[in-house]
Structure 1
């Protein structure tokens, strides 16, 4: 990350910007840094000022305690101010929940796009997330970062043999390093259900995207997000999964933004 700005609580935020044109800030999901969305930023930079950053607690950014979702909204406010005072927002997975909350909070955004925010659409899904929250809080409280990462990978549906393979891989230490931020993403998702009343507060256009090859519940959640926002649009990217191809995603975002 080549640039830094300071959030309201004094937290240093590392970010990169590329291209010229209207600003769009890209927000990554759980267990990721700004590098995760950098390939997408490179594609959008042909028409926009594309900004990717390390969310607090990750990469080169700071991590002032105690954590609150409102602090991450303030982080986005600081980034928007740093790139001109107004921007579009894009968030993937739990990063999408953060940009939706930022928009509902009244930040100066032109529009918002999200990809597969993992909200539950049924009570059963909310109960599963509540159990995950309890277990995650216990693991992180006891300093068991590896167990916390395992809990998250299990929640995503990763097979046990793949989880154990990851635990024995060189990337595991990096995953453990940012494991505390799993609690941040969990907090951003609230009780896990689509926050319909909060989404109704968003006064700008919202594009809610899902992959045609993703599980049906993810598409249902994406549709519910679009239906709950007053200016919401739902779109499916055929053949895509949660690991969406930036080359497929970028044209859809550019058209909307």
Structure 2
């Protein structure tokens, strides 16, 4: 196993990542309540085709040395630093909050070749990422350092997993232990999620962008992805059949296939897919 490599972000934060496989460069950016280990089931599938750079976002794992103050824009700079270390024409893949970080990386580097965003959380006219009541609870639990309740509240009231899904994650003891280790940054990240209209500033990204949505994910994910795609010229939306928010754990082969298929697209068609009902890629 790669013991870890490091890139320095714009504010002096040191961002750690591990490298696997051989081929065109790819960077994986994990979501909230996890670290780079969340990609572990998927990495062997991808490493057969790509040189996979698995980063730990700031405040986690290899990336504990960070500057202040915290901002989503700083996370974008972190991702850009790892992308620059990975090479040129990098395939950037972000999951959940990591997808927002990936979007924010685009203005800081020209080394990105294409981007996949798997269910980025944004506040929209039809759904708040976290209600004022939920935010009040999160702040209380964070202040008490009650990370068990903080984590459970994020999973249930922010990500909107069902009680059954949360119980399944809790029963996966290694995953739950890892999530508790990474719970302290959850409040600041939830507070930093922006509004969907703000994604319009990424209209000039200029590389192919695909948004992924799980077929079994909460109903708000699909229209949110479609709205983001409308704001980024050439972006499209694809559905992961039978999946929810955690396909990297539930069906890594399916997700690896979806990423490889997008990587194989070339020319203008790479960013323009046929759209079925509600703008979903066929």
TM-score, structure 2 normalization: 0.78
Cα deviations by residue, 1:68-103 (Å, 9 ceiling, x for unpaired): 222212211221222225512101111111111212
Q: Distance in 2 between matches of 1:180 and 1:127?
A: 18
Q: Distance in 2 between matches of 1:252 and 1:204?
A: 18
Q: Where does residue 247 of structure 1 map in the other structure? A: 253
Q: Where does residue 233 of structure 1 map in the other structure? A: 236
Q: Distance in 1 between matches of 2:252 and 2:165?
A: 28
State the number of aligned residues. Answer: 255
1:207 aligns with 2:210: yes
1:219 aligns with 2:222: yes
> Higher relative contact order at CA 8 Å, sep ≥6: structure 1 or structure 2?
1
What is the correspondence of 1:99-138 to structure 2 with a 5 Å cutoff? 99-123=102-126, 125-126=127-128, 128-138=130-140
CA apart distance, 1:104? 4.4
Contact 1:97 1:188 survives alignment (8 Å): no
CA apart distance, 1:129? 3.9
Going from structure 1 to structure 2, the CA distance change for 1:170 and 1:25 (only over 3 Å counts) comes to closer
Which moved further from structure 2: 87-96 or 73-82?
Answer: 73-82
1:7 aligns with 2:11: no
1:46 pairs with one of 22, 45, 48: 48
1:24 aligns with 2:26: yes
Contact 2:58 2:75 survives alignment (8 Å): yes
RMSD, aligned α-carbons: 2.9
Secondary structure of residue in 1 paired with 2:149: helix
CA apart distance, 1:133? 3.3
Q: Which runs of 5+ in 2 are unaligned?
A: 264-282
Q: Distance in 2 between matches of 1:249 and 1:117?
A: 16
Q: Where does residue 97 of structure 2 map in the other structure? A: 94
Cα deviations by residue, 1:15-63 (Å, 9 ceiling, x for unpaired): 1112222211011111111111132222122221111121111123214
Q: Distance in 2 between matches of 1:214 and 1:161?
A: 11
CA apart distance, 1:248? 0.5
TM-score, structure 1 normalization: 0.85
Q: Distance in 2 between matches of 1:237 and 1:151?
A: 26
Q: Which runs of 5+ in 1 are unaligned?
A: none
Going from structure 1 to structure 2, the CA distance change for 1:128 and 1:78 (only over 3 Å counts) comes to closer
Contact 1:154 1:160 survives alignment (8 Å): no
